[in-house]
Structure 1
Amino acid sequence: MSQRKRASRVQPVVASTTKNIVVFGESGVGKSSLINLIAGRSIAATSSGAKGCTFRHKKYELQVDDTPYAIWDTAGLDEGAYGTVPAEIAEEHLKQLLHDLTRANGIHLLVYCVRASRLRKTLLSNYNLFYSAICRKKVPIVAVVTGLENYEEEMQDWWAANETEFAMLKMHFDGHACVTTLDADKVNSPILKQRCHASRRAVLPLIASSCARDRWGTEQDGWVSAALADVRAMFKPPRQNTTQPTPIVALYDLPEHSLDPIGSVKDTSFEGGHLVDVGGSPLLVYRIRDQHLRSGVRFKKQIASRGADLLMFCTSIHSDTGASRRRAAAFHGSYGGDMRPLLVVVRDAPVG
């Protein structure tokens, strides 16, 4: 029996202990072949990627070194709005993927599959789609570069030669692997066989070490609706003279007079919040107090309708640390801190 076939066997796993890994990338970069490499056998059908069926997905359950995984194979996102299928169909597929991930205990790791010879303009859009819009930058992400079977240098040298491409686009990764996804049983060259086996040895530890200890996405209020809204915005055709919505800031416990250092107040009654000018750009600020956290009523409806773009928690250096932490946790939990950035401001702190 070959080394690939002696490796991990596909078998049912217990959902509560399963690590959910989402593999994404452009059509034709080798996502299905990468899944087969991880499994050590052929479990995912490969295709040419000539036709897109955006966001259709399939889950593969397997066990590697006593760790159960569910690998989610997503269809590629081609250039243009939602690829080669109508936007409404693509959105339904995406919605189904997110609901399925929610029922499966959330996401532990994103694997961005990139082909070495195809660093294209969709590189950043796919990254932003899954890492920023869908996972809100809350999930570890790794890059797996495929198609390096004929690379003249060592496969891992590709990253050092090309990582500036990712850095220029401000793309962060928690790890990477440079591989070939060829089936070792179907190649004759000893060098290629060696690269196939080395690729699996590189990918498995990367996945095991990069998976988040706790899954994300299962219990986040409004996760699916917020993700869909951001995806729609990403792929909305540009229009001239289109007015962008005013960014919303949920601001905890900042006194009335302290709004002025942030910006000049234009209208203190706009939609129940304060319209503040910051460097010529408006912000709609909702001031949150302790009683709002206890009641969970005021501003919740306004903010929940679209979601805050930023949370600001203000405290004082003279405040009780334990109490501040409890208030920050309540604020973070009440206003969707797992899906948006949190800025902490400490007042009265010495300068310098």
Structure 2
Amino acid sequence: MVEQPASASDYVDVLLVGQTGVGKSTVINMIRGVQEGSNGSAEVKNDVRPCTVSARDYRTTLDGREFRLWDTRGLDEALEHPNNSDQAVGWLRRVLRMVPACDRELKDHCQRVLNDRPSTLLIWCIDASKISIPAHWQQFRKVYVDFCGRRVAPAVVVTRVPQNWTVDWKGKCKEQLEKLGLGLEIRDDLFAGVVRHPRSYASTRMYDTDSQTAVRNVVLSWNSNR
């Protein structure tokens, strides 16, 4: 894929958001069609340490349209089973209106992008093993509603989907969204799953062409219908 220079006003912004280690950088490489570790690719790590310390944009062309893909700093506050100490810290933050550094940076970045370009796609990246955990969807709601004020078009990309998985992952995602009052906010064509590959294959791209097509279609479908 040949990437050509364009002025900032020609770009469509796409924000990729999710927890640390969920695979946002991999999704960006997939959309752009570049291999992991190649020159100019988004950095990917195989553990939970953050590889994106601040928002960075990667530009690409799909079907003749220029896109600016934002790899954002990972959210790390969502917990599957918070203990009493975690709940106390969360309560204190709410009372004192304190925002964790990663949240504050992401909120500021979302608002900057929206001020420059109100028509923006927000892709929530979530691990397949987490789709039934309410805390992770509460994080999505925080970004979509609190940080972006619903001024973005929301989409969901489920990462690390097991091969031959028979789970209705899209249905489970919608179920969680409905519990948050967001069931009608994401169009059916703005969901995609990224299939996980064996470790031997993961060393090259970590995705297959079907997954790549599905994720690209999310971006293109939103852009063509906005």
TM superposition score normalised by structure 1: 0.48
Between the two structures, name the one with larger relative contact order (CA 8 Å, sep ≥ 6).
2
Give 2:7's match in structure 1, choosing from 6, 14, 24. 14
Q: Secondary structure at the match of 2:220?
A: helix
Aligned to 2:70: 72
Percent identity between matched residues is 24
Counterpart contact for 1:21–1:109, Cα < 8 Å: yes
- Give, in angstroms, the shift of residue 118 of structure 1: 1.8
Give 1:170's match in structure 2, choosing from 159, 162, 181. 181
Unaligned runs of 5+ in 1: 1-7, 215-352
The alpha-carbon distance between structure 1 residues 98 and 127, as it changes in their structure 2 partners (threshold 3 A), is: closer
Aligned length: 197
Aligned to 1:284: none
Distance in 2 separating the partners of 1:118 and 1:206: 21
The alpha-carbon distance between structure 1 residues 166 and 103, as it changes in their structure 2 partners (threshold 3 A), is: closer
1:15-34 correspondence runs (5 A): 15-34=8-27
Aligned to 2:194: 179
For residue 2 of structure 2, what is the amino acid of its counterpart? Answer: R
Q: Secondary structure at the match of 1:114?
A: strand
CA RMSD of aligned residues (A): 3.5
Distance in 1 separating the partners of 2:73 and 2:23: 11
Deviations 1:41-89 (A, max 9, x none): 042111246345998211111111211000111122112669xxx9474
Counterpart contact for 2:107–2:148, Cα < 8 Å: no
Aligned to 1:197: 209
Counterpart contact for 1:59–1:71, Cα < 8 Å: yes
Distance in 1 separating the partners of 2:145 and 2:53: 16
Counterpart check, 1:158 vs 2:156: no
Deviations 1:155-192 (A, max 9, x none): 8x432465323333333322211222669x9469xxx9
Q: Secondary structure at the match of 1:136?
A: coil
Unaligned runs of 5+ in 2: 36-40, 78-85
The alpha-carbon distance between structure 1 residues 200 and 129, as it changes in their structure 2 partners (threshold 3 A), is: same
Aligned to 1:341: none
Counterpart contact for 1:33–1:181, Cα < 8 Å: no
- Give, in angstroms, the shift of residue 27 of structure 1: 1.3
The alpha-carbon distance between structure 1 residues 159 and 22, as it changes in their structure 2 partners (threshold 3 A), is: same
Aligned to 1:234: none
- Give, in angstroms, the shift of residue 116 of structure 1: 0.6
Aligned to 1:334: none
Runs of 4+ residues over 6 Å off in structure 1: none
1:84-103 correspondence runs (5 A): 87=99, 89-90=101-102, 93-94=105-106, 96-98=108-110, 100-102=112-114
Counterpart check, 1:115 vs 2:133: no
For residue 23 of structure 1, what is the amino acid of its counterpart? Answer: L
Q: Secondary structure at the match of 1:179?
A: strand
For residue 205 of structure 1, what is the amino acid of its counterpart? Answer: N
Deviations 1:187-238 (A, max 9, x none): 69xxx99x71111111212211213877xxxxxxxxxxxxxxxxxxxxxxxx
- Give, in angstroms, the shift of residue 134 of structure 1: 2.0
Counterpart contact for 1:108–1:213, Cα < 8 Å: no
Q: Secondary structure at the match of 2:28?
A: helix
For residue 175 of structure 2, what is the amino acid of its counterpart? Answer: T
Counterpart check, 1:210 vs 2:222: yes
Aligned to 2:143: 130
For residue 9 of structure 2, what is the amino acid of its counterpart? Answer: S
Aligned to 2:58: 60
Tell me which structure has the larger Cα radius of gyration.
1
